[in-house]
Amino acid sequence: MWNGFLDFLQAYRRYDPAAKSTIEIALLYPGPRVMLFHRIAHWFYDQHLHFLARLVSELGRALSGIEIHPGARIGKRLVIDHGMGLVIGETAEVGDDCIIFHGVTLGGTKFDPVKRHPTVGNRVLIGTGAAILGPITLGDDSRVGANAVVTRSVEPGVTVVGNPAKPI
């Protein structure tokens, strides 16, 4: 577990030239803070202890400004840059080595108890303010531009921008 956490912090060091130390990232960056809360909340969620899961999730949100539903599945080394206003819904899935900026929504388009949030592949970058909506997939190595509104799946390696999002 400790090695996984150090690997996670090193992802931030590799990404952010403003980071001066690993201890700074661990204690002062909101992304690692909320991910610690999310891992605990997700464990409670998997144990069907939904009230405790939501309680832990809400504490993480209060301390970071980042809302990740306890049911969301998050891969390894997710870098959340700034993060304020980020929302990740219950059935969302995020792959490994992704970068997500502040103000992003991985949201649903239905209220039915089905898969209703996006699936984000590995090594995906999602720009500030983007809205990724519905049970769609962002393929591995894709990129979403700032403020894009994505309601259709994106092929691996493709960059989309605009509202509605279109490949460039």
Q: β-strands 159-161, 137-138: how paired?
A: unpaired
* Cross-strand partners of 79: 99
pLDDT per position as a tens digit, 120-166: 999 999 999 999 999 999 999 999 999 999 999 999 999 999 999 99
CB of 148 closer than 8 Å to CB of 162: yes
- What does the block give as tokens for 134? 């519905």
pLDDT tens digits, one per residue of 49-80:
999 999 999 999 999 999 999 999 999 999 99
Domain with 131, as residue range(s), is: 2-167
Indicate the number of domains in the chain: 1
CATH number of residue 66's parent domain: 2.160.10.10
Q: What is the pTM of this model?
A: 0.93
Q: How far is CA 50 from the centre of its chain?
A: 20
Whole-number Å distance between alpha carbons of 151 and 41: 28
Nearest-CA neighbor of 104 among 84, 124, 78, 75?
84
Q: What is the DSSP string of 80-112?
A: EES-TT-EE-TT-EE-TT-EEETT-EEE-S--S
